[in-house]
Amino acid sequence: MSLQDLWFTLIAVLWCGYFLLEGFDFGVGALLFRLGRDEAERGLMLRTIGPVWDGNEVWLLVAGGATFAAFPQWYATLFSGFYLALLLILVALILRVVAIEYRNKESDPVWRRRWDVVHSVCAFVPALLWGVAFGNIVRGVPIDAAHNYTGSFFTLLNPYALLGGLTTLSVFVLHGAVFLALKTEGDLRDRARREVAWLGPVAAVCAVGFLGWTLAHVHAGGHGDFAAVLGVSVLAALALVGGLLATWRGRDGWAFAGTGLAIVATTVALFLALHPDVMPSTTNAAYSLTVENASSSHYTLTVMSWVALIFTPFVLLYQSWTYWIFRKRLIGAAS
């Protein structure tokens, strides 16, 4: 494996970790008013993600930094072409965090409800737009010979990408419901399980449609490994079904593992469908960005590899320790 392929793989792993962990954060936020009957229950729901949300976002920061360092041309084209969409995601992520911190600054229920509304809306936005963004990356966008994006914001709102957005939104909300069933007790836990019963089929239909379209795109476009994408897509479908069956049997831990594996497998399928491109051009295939023409120098990638080898285990150990410490279910009203 070349260093370019190695860093493409590492970036894929980072996005897998981000969607796996931040996915249930988005899902919990999106379900605040669906499952939370009052301010106390919404506070309890937010407490389930309170100790871990900031650590989950580290995966996004590292993924962005790794892309900038390993594939600067990819980073430049992506962030200039998807500027408005990524700005909306950034604003939503910031306001979501502000809402978590500010809701408890006052005991007034109206104050807290307003911040809960902000949090819920700002959970929906990135959950939808991340799917739209990755759908466009896999499908390809208009790029000229200088590797500049030549489309508009509305170019990104094509049917395939919008289906990708609905897929990430539905799967993340399902993941959040399963997480709440895993982390709470009593009536809230029962309602979360009932939510899974109807969210599961919706997420499954969206995911099957999106991955099926992705397979057709790979088969027609000639890039990506069709057999590998097919195998991982089947794994994603089986994991999602397994997670739903586990919820039905009351095995919340296995249900969370199932939805988590489905998210990881879907993300892997998208990166397999993309490789060796990192950003295909719909204008001319010769203008596409690949792992070769978008990468940094061999020396830069070598130094980055050693840094990642040394520091990554510490990050993983710390985050694993955090989840272990806060592994118990939450009972009672939020403060």
Q: What is the pLDDT of residues 308-320, one digit of tens each?
A: 888 888 888 988 8
Taking the C-alpha atoms of residue 113 and residue 187, their distance in angstroms, rounded to an integer, is: 21
Nearest to 126 by CA among 93, 97, 153, 164: 93
For the chain, how many structural domains are there in total?
A: 1
Q: Is the pLDDT of residue 332 over 60?
A: no
Write down the pTM of the prediction. Answer: 0.93
Mean pLDDT of the chain: 91
Taking the C-alpha atoms of residue 240 and residue 156, their distance in angstroms, rounded to an integer, is: 28
Q: Would you say 123 and 75 are in contact if contact means Cβ atoms under 8 Å apart?
A: no
Q: Is residue 330 assigned to a domain? A: no
Q: Would you say 265 and 233 are in contact if contact means Cβ atoms under 8 Å apart?
A: yes
Q: Is residue 84 assigned to a domain? A: yes
Helix (H, G, I), strand (E, B) or coil at 315: helix
* Full residue range of the structural domain in which residue 253 is found: 3-325
Taking the C-alpha atoms of residue 233 and residue 236, their distance in angstroms, rounded to an integer, is: 5
Taking the C-alpha atoms of residue 232 and residue 249, their distance in angstroms, rounded to an integer, is: 25
Distance of CA 32 to the CA centre of its chain: 19
What tokens appear for 65 in the block?
């930094």
What tokens appear for 196 in the block?
């899974």
Taking the C-alpha atoms of residue 169 and residue 146, their distance in angstroms, rounded to an integer, is: 34
Q: Determine the Cα angle at 91 with ends 142 and 139, to 5°.
A: 25
At 270, give phi and psi (nearest 5°). -65, -40
Output the pLDDT for position 153.
Answer: 85
For 47-60, the pLDDT digits (tens) are: 999 888 888 888 99
For 120-134, the pLDDT digits (tens) are: 999 999 999 999 999
Q: Is residue 332 assigned to a domain? A: no
Q: Is residue 334 assigned to a domain? A: no
Distance of CA 257 to the CA centre of its chain: 16
Q: Is residue 335 assigned to a domain? A: no
The single residue listed with the structure tokens 């604003």 is: 91
Q: Give the strand pairing for 289-290 and 277-279.
A: antiparallel
Q: Is residue 119 assigned to a domain? A: yes
| Interacting residues of 29 by C-beta distance below 8 A, sequence separation 6+ | 49, 96, 119, 120, 122, 123, 124, 176
Q: Is the dihedral of CA 224, 226, 228, 232 positive or negative?
A: positive
Q: Is residue 128 assigned to a domain? A: yes
Q: Is residue 276 assigned to a domain? A: yes
Output the pLDDT for position 334.
Answer: 42
Average pLDDT over residues 270-289: 92
